[in-house]
Amino acid sequence: LEDKYKDRFLRIHRNALIARRAVRALEKHHDPQEGEGWAVRLTGIDDLLLVSRRQLAAVRELVAG
């Protein structure tokens, strides 16, 4: 799916693809178990989704527009 729909979806973690148009914000996040990191906030979803270090640059590029 990721290869077929690159223009619609973005991988944020090895187990997570998100719709590019749903991204609202990239936020610094602290998880008690994982420590400091980054997460995305999506339209219509209250929960934050963690972003892996490997995918952070691609998410930042998307948010920057």
4 assigned to some structural domain: no
Q: Which residues pair with 18 in a beta bridge?
A: 10
Per the structure, how many domains does the chain have? 1
Expressed in percent and rounded to 5, the helix, strand and coil fractions of the chain are: 20, 45, 35
* pLDDT tens for each residue of 1-50: 889 999 999 999 999 999 999 999 999 998 888 789 999 999 999 999 99
Domain hosting residue 21, numbered range: 9-64
Please give the model's pTM, rounded to 2 decimal places: 0.85
3 assigned to some structural domain: no
